[in-house]
Chain A
Amino acid sequence: MLGARRRNKFRNGFVTDRDYWTLRCVDIRMTNVIELDNLAVSFGGRPILKGLSIALGGRAIGLLGPNGAGKTTLIHTLLGFHKPAGGTARVLGHDVRSDAIAMRAGVGYMPERDAFVAEMTAVHFVRLMAELSGIPSEAALERAHESLFYVGLGEARYRGLETYSLGMKQLAKLAQSIVHSPRLIILDEPTNGLDPPARRRMLDLVKQIRDSGHARILFSSHMLRDVEEVCEDVLILKDGQIAAYVNLEEDRKANEGAIDIEATGNTEAFAQALTARGCRVSPSAPRRARVVLADGMMATEVFQIAATSSAQIRRLIPKRDSLDDIFHKAMENGRGSL
């Protein structure tokens, strides 16, 4: 805890960063943290991101896509590392092209690859990163200790980073990404190469940060299960375009009461009877249909309706779209549809 005298020294001795306070004053619950308007990025004339337009505003946003879809390019563009070839990208209300420095004051970034400053202990490294974000030296040291304890590296904080295991390095990267209290934390493949306990710890930490409400999270990963566990919204990219943007909770609700049915016999009469009972029937293939049950209707009633319609149910599967289904559908359907 900073003593009152030291706080006064900070107040009197340092100029408050206007950009920082501008960011602080913006409500953390503002609707959108990332706004893309026809964003295009090209390397050597080759288009990588092709006119992305979307507003992202969830507490934790998953970024999915196959290799080469443009996930990392999008992250780097959001951080101001790549200049857009067209369109605009705004992060926390700041244009990434013209206002990158002010934007970065409110962003924490955990890169995918190993990334460190050579020959440093973890506490020295995290302190340096905090200072670069504008935290005064002594407060930065305090924050470095706190961040390392928070991610579970408290006991190892005086060890050189080169002696860390892969899991510990990932946690050190997470510590440096949160040390300056960013309002948006961009995590690029945070569970890469982690063993199950380390992966569990990483996911728990990310969920804890998400639930604290202090920061929004952009979580890029190949691991669909991780994204499903942590994220509320998911943006799926394919070939540099948006293949889908879904709210997982809404998607689950929309699929509540839905069943996939395979039947033989008089399937036409069966479908008509279900419709008459208030169900929505969407044929998906010959003798197959997705049925959204009427309010209060139980699945067992479907068997009775089938019997009275001279149809036999061969298969009945309660429908619950997993992220895996959503992802694969997005990959099959291409742009914008599920």
Chain B
Amino acid sequence: MAVYEHAYSPYTGPLTPRWSRFAIIPRHAIRDVFRSKLLMVVFAVSFVYPLVAAILIYLHHNANALSILELPIKELLPIDTAFFRNYVWTQAKFGFLITLFVGPTLISGDLANNGLPLYLARPFTRLEYVAGKLTVVAALLSAVTWIPGLLLIGLQSYLEGGSWLAHHLPIVLGVFAGSWMWILVLSMLSLAVSAFVKWAMAARAALFGIMIVPSALAAVINQLFQTRWGSIVDPNSCLYSILVALFGSDARVDIPAAAAFVSIVLLLTVCAGALALKIKAYEVIR
């Protein structure tokens, strides 16, 4: 129907498959996300560390460059498990910054504008809605965590040659699974906060608090009771323990990885419960 023919006519074309519809939300949302210049800056800065890491890997394998620099880079910064573990840890922090910008507004906007009935009155489930919103955060965080991480591993493997990759498989697992643990925790936390706090700034403050306050609380508990188990309430410590275990390294951690994993699963369950509670077309006032 041409636009000048203002008559009601039905759509008779084909439809997209059901399974692909959750991707509609991130496609529209990511377009809007980059309207924020500040986020653009943070997002761009997030690639500085991977770039520096790539340069370091290159320098490690370039004798001429090393001789010109006259720096013992190979000894100072060896390309090993700790190198990639630090990479994931640093990028996760940048991921947290990006989440602070993007996450808290994802659901709060729909709640404030009563948008949920519009989504859920269509052939679109609550699960697809949450999956769509989660994909927005996950896509942005993937771009600064495991994707460049795997590229770095690829570069190192290519330059080192031989069987480097075969001998360092835990690094691949650590970068990929460790990044995804962070992505999942940050995405779910930010969505849960967004579902409860309608004002974007308050939601950002709440998300910041949720990540920072437990660290302080854990430190107080550890100090008071002369233990390390207080860190189980701190998502940062738990994620670090899991990351160290995934990389198979022997770095010092406060709590065992298994306990940390249980703590993180519990946190994710609480977030999922909070979302199930709030993501409804209408609240029923009993």
Contacts and interface: CB of A to CB of B under 8 A. Distances in A.
To the question of whether A and B form a pair in one complex, the answer is yes
A14 B281 contact: no
B113 A114 contact: yes
Contacts of B28: 124, 128, 131
Interface string B108-119: 011011110111
Given A15-B17, A131-B24, A135-B15, A104 B121 contact: yes
B117 A115 contact: yes
A115 B115 CA distance: 5
Interface of B: 1-4, 6-18, 21, 24, 27-28, 32, 105, 109-110, 112-115, 117-125, 280-282, 284-286
A137 B24 CA distance: 9
A197 B87 CA distance: 63
Contact of A109 (B8, B13, B117, B125): B117
What 7 A-B pairs come out closest when comparing CB atoms?
A: A118-B109, A44-B286, A134-B15, A181-B10, A109-B121, A17-B15, A115-B114
A259 B215 CA distance: 83
Interface centre among A1, A44, A115, A129 (most CB of B within 10 A): A115
B11 A135 contact: yes
Contacts of B119: 132
A111 B286 CA distance: 21
A181 B114 contact: no
Given A117-B118, A135-B15, A214-B10, 4 more contacts: A10-B13, A149-B3, A181-B10, A215-B8
Interface of A: 1-2, 7, 10-11, 14-17, 19-20, 43-44, 46, 76, 79, 81-82, 101-102, 104-105, 107, 109, 111, 113-119, 124, 128-129, 131-137, 139, 143, 145-146, 149-150, 154, 176, 178-181, 208-209, 212, 214-215
A14 B118 contact: no
Contacts of B115: 115-118
Contacts of A15: 16-17
A116 B114 contact: yes
Nearest to A11: B14
26 contacts: A1-B1, A10-B14, A43-B286, A76-B282, A81-B280, A101-B125, A102-B123, A115-B114, A115-B118, A116-B118, A117-B110, A117-B115, A129-B122, A132-B21, A132-B124, A133-B123, A134-B21, A135-B13, A136-B14, A136-B15, A139-B11, A150-B8, A181-B11, A181-B12, A208-B8, A209-B8
B113 A116 contact: yes
Nearest to B115: A117
Contact of A105 (B123, B280, B286): B123
A182 B206 CA distance: 41
A43 B286 CA distance: 6
Contacts of B4: 149
A147 to B, nearest CB: 9
B110 A118 contact: yes
Nearest to B284: A43
A107 B114 CA distance: 19
A14 B17 contact: yes
B49 to A, nearest CB: 31
Given A124-B28, A154-B3, A209-B8, A176 B15 contact: no
Nearest to A117: B115
Given A124-B28, A134-B21, A135-B15, A176 B118 contact: yes
Interface centre among B109, B110, B282 (most CB of A within 10 A): B282
Given A128-B24, A133-B123, A208-B8, A119 B109 contact: yes
A75 B38 CA distance: 43
A283 B21 CA distance: 64
A117 B109 contact: yes
A172 to B, nearest CB: 11
Contacts of B121: 79, 81, 104, 107, 109, 111
B122 A214 contact: no
A317 to B, nearest CB: 41
Contacts of B125: 101
B17 A146 contact: no
Given A79-B281, A119-B109, A111 B15 contact: no
Contacts of B282: 76, 81
B106 to A, nearest CB: 10
B123 A145 contact: no
A239 B25 CA distance: 40
Contacts of A136: 13-16
B125 to A, nearest CB: 7
B118 A20 contact: no
Contacts of B18: 17, 19, 101, 134
B263 to A, nearest CB: 34
A314 B244 CA distance: 99
A225 B15 CA distance: 39
A128 B24 CA distance: 8
B281 A81 contact: yes
Contacts of A113: 114
B11 A143 contact: yes
A82 B120 CA distance: 12
Given A79-B281, A118-B109, A17 B16 contact: yes
Nearest to B114: A115
B117 A81 contact: yes
Nearest to A149: B3
Nearest to B108: A118
B112 to A, nearest CB: 7
B9 A214 contact: yes
B202 to A, nearest CB: 16
A19 B113 contact: no
Given A82-B284, A132-B24, A14 B16 contact: yes
